Amino acid sequence: MIVNIIAEIRTHGGEGVFSYAVPEELTDQIQVGSIVSIPFGRKTVRGVVEEQGMEQGARSYKLKNIISLNPEFKIPESYIDVAKWVSEYYLCSLGEAISMFLPPSINRPRNKKQETDGSETSNIKQKLNQLTTDQKEIFEKLAKSLSSDQKKPALVYGVTGSGKTEIYLHLAKKTIELGKSVILLVPEIVLTPQNIERFEEIFGQDVVLMHSGLSKSEKFHCYQSFYPGEKKIIVGPRSALLVPCENIGLIIIDEEQEDSYKQEQNPRYDAVGLAEKLAEKLNIQLVLGSATPRIETYYKAKSGIYDLYNISNRYNSLILPTAEIIDLKDEIKRENFSPISEKLQRRLTAVLKNKEQAILFLNRRGMATFVSCRDCGFVANCPSCDIPLVYHINQSDKYLICHHCQKKVSIPAKCPDCGSFRIKYFGSGVEKIEMEIERLFPKARIKRVDAKVLRNHREYEKFYRDFRDRKFDIVIGTQILAKGFDIPGVSLVGIISADVGLHLPHFRASERIFRLITQVSGRSGRRQKTGQTIIQTYWPNSAAICFAAKHDFPSFYEAEIKKRLAKNYPPKSQIIRVLSEHEMQNTAKRNIENLSSELSKHQIEYIGPGVCFFQRLNNRFRYQIIIKVDKLPNKIITEIYHNQQNLTWDVDAINLL
């Protein structure tokens, strides 16, 4: 017998399926979906059986034999179909697509886990909280859908603190009672400790955590636990979606708007799009949750492609924080040159007096955005990336660093161009804000946090516990503070500069600013006390900032969707970013111009070709084209992709810089 196998390799030109002979001793064990080891050139690689049953005699040449078979796992046929779709839609090889669903390769032998049939119900450790009227209505409709043959994806749109997690918990319990398994996706494990704690409190040993911090053997254990149904719930970022199981009844994607659901290496899939395909193929109920949904997701909900469920009030009737916009131009007129406005200073004084807590948010690490010469205008740029170096300071050192390639350089004592000593540090980072708060409030207990300070799950959990236990009065931080956590003592959020990123050349710039302000604002007033947000900006009339101050997503959506539809941006079209990178500028430019000619020949709409916003990173020059198409997969685009594989193709791209 011979079989066709999808090899776990990157291939060119659309190939990816290869024929192998099956040794006699494996004939009875081989099935479609079997994971096997095969010789490929001089290497041994893994593959998945796509088709079986052909006769060896039908070939005029001798085929290589399969080396071995993994008896523990099999890729369900439906996942093979999904992998083929991933290959077509996200423009990658079939081998790259199938590799997404394969367990980690473990060399040493292991004790096989005892399998269960997945039919027994879970032992609930704790009683679930009673749902509010709004929550109960949504739960009952979705619970009914769990048993239906005709399922539709659902968006649960609820303001920050509206109790979406409680709906998830009740749905998970119902799914397990139906004998099915549950996938809960969170943006990042480290940033959502409360959600995970709640699931573990309720479902105990039925929960398995999957994330990038696990070793290969720990990830293998996740497959051993979830694949056969021994554990009923898998929780994690996008990788948790890739653990195959034929018995899934529910996929929940919390904070569906987050960029971290998009993979930045091949295959460049989006977990929301992949979950939608899996749900369609396996008849799974898909539930997306967000206080600030993607414009594309809300459009689908408003168009009837998704069911839309609204929760307009916070859990336990808590009031959303009030927000006040401070025009920083007025601060300059009053000769207040501190990055902290007078109003924010007064509110921080009141917070400290009342023994409450505050968050100060700035989406920027470091002391200053860039370093420049006041006399000639020289800017200290990274020699490898041609972007400004950022000034940092710690207890023992001061330095400039590139936030892309991490190259460190010394601070120039004088301008290397004109010799002037008038070196100026422009802009503010969290380190500078920390120093300013220490100056203004010397007795306050201050903590600065960013991705460099909180490097892993343990450090984040310790910070979360310490903040919750009131060991800090004021926490200053970056985006890491915008996600997920619930600190009862926080009554004030100060957004130091709401404009960061507002004017980037990106059609999603306003959406990101609205999302960030709304999410950060939602960190205050989480218990009985009404919170307050101070939003500092040089553009107080920006629609994104004004609507975010009112927590008014529907109005922001209406303003944004008009612009998107008029300019043929998603959701009206789908975009593909094609990037050309090379050490030689002329080569990078020539490659993107060749693509431009090919697209023009087929009358495909595109923007460019042009230089990227970050023109050079890691000593590689960068050019790009943004393709707009009505629908994907697209046969012409697929054909062009197979002929232009010296470029990076990113379907439904998040990053356009």
Region 437-456 average pLDDT: 87
Region 78-103 average pLDDT: 95
Is residue 430 within 8 A of residue 366, CB to CB? The reply is yes
- Mean model confidence pLDDT for the chain: 88
Region 287-309 average pLDDT: 96
- Residue 391, number of CB atoms within 10 A of its CB: 23
* Pairs from 105-111 (Cβ < 8 Å, separation ≥ 24): 105/46, 105/216, 106/216, 106/217, 106/220, 110/217, 110/220
pLDDT the model gives residue 627: 97
pLDDT the model gives residue 109: 46
94 three-state secondary structure: helix
Q: How confident is the model at residue 108 (pLDDT cuts 50, 70, 90)?
A: low
One fold for 2-99 and 574-651? no
pLDDT score of 113 more than 60? no
* Pairs from 112-117 (Cβ < 8 Å, separation ≥ 24): 112/72, 112/224, 113/221, 113/224, 113/225, 113/228, 113/230, 114/230, 115/228, 115/229, 115/230, 116/228, 116/229, 116/230, 117/229
pTM for the model: 0.89
What percent of the chain lies above the pLDDT cut of 70?
90
Pick the CATH number of 2-99 from 3.30.420.40, 3.40.50.150, 3.30.479.30, 3.40.1440.60: 3.40.1440.60
Give the class (CATH, top level) of 574-651.
alpha beta
Which range, of 11-20, 127-136, 322-331, averages the lowest pLDDT?
11-20
pLDDT the model gives residue 190: 67
**Category of 190 on φ-ψ map: left (φ > 0), alpha (ψ -120 to 50) or beta:** alpha
d(CA 61, CA 643): 30
* Max CA distance (Å), the chain: 90
pLDDT the model gives residue 96: 95
Q: How confident is the model at residue 212 (pLDDT cuts 50, 70, 90)?
A: confident
pLDDT the model gives residue 400: 87
pLDDT score of 526 more than 80? no
pLDDT score of 596 more than 60? yes
Q: How confident is the model at residue 485 (pLDDT cuts 50, 70, 90)?
A: low
Torsion sign over Cα 639, 642, 648, 650: positive
DSSP 246: T
Q: How confident is the model at residue 314 (pLDDT cuts 50, 70, 90)?
A: low
Helix (H) or strand (E) holding 528: none
pLDDT the model gives residue 395: 60
Which range, of 333-347, 485-499, 627-641, averages the lowest pLDDT?
485-499
Which range, of 208-222, 270-284, 425-439, 618-632, averages the lowest pLDDT?
425-439
pLDDT the model gives residue 211: 82
What is the SS3 assignment for 152-164? CCEEEEECCCCCH
Place of tokens 């977990």: 271
Place of tokens 């997920």: 484
pLDDT per position as a tens digit, 22-50? 999 998 899 999 999 999 989 999 999 99
Q: How confident is the model at residue 391 (pLDDT cuts 50, 70, 90)?
A: confident
pLDDT per position as a tens digit, 116-158? 444 444 566 678 889 988 899 999 999 999 999 889 999 999 8
Task: Provide the residue ranges of all domains of the chain, joining segments of one domain with +.
Answer: 2-99, 133-315, 318-366+429-563, 368-427, 574-651
Is residue 592 within 8 A of residue 612, CB to CB? The reply is no
CATH superfamily of 318-366+429-563: P-loop containing nucleotide triphosphate hydrolases (3.40.50.300)
Residue count of the chain: 657
Top-ranked range on mean pLDDT: pick from 55-59, 302-306, 364-368: 302-306
Which range, of 237-241, 304-308, 401-405, averages the lowest pLDDT?
401-405
Which range, of 93-102, 135-144, 306-315, 596-605, averages the lowest pLDDT?
306-315
Torsion sign over Cα 280, 284, 285, 288: negative
pLDDT the model gives residue 504: 77
pLDDT the model gives residue 427: 63
Which range, of 32-46, 47-61, 464-478, averages the lowest pLDDT?
47-61
pLDDT score of 219 more than 80? yes
Q: How confident is the model at residue 386 (pLDDT cuts 50, 70, 90)?
A: confident
Region 199-209 average pLDDT: 91
Q: How confident is the model at residue 365 (pLDDT cuts 50, 70, 90)?
A: low
Which range, of 355-364, 390-399, 461-470, 610-619, averages the lowest pLDDT?
390-399
CATH superfamily of 133-315: P-loop containing nucleotide triphosphate hydrolases (3.40.50.300)
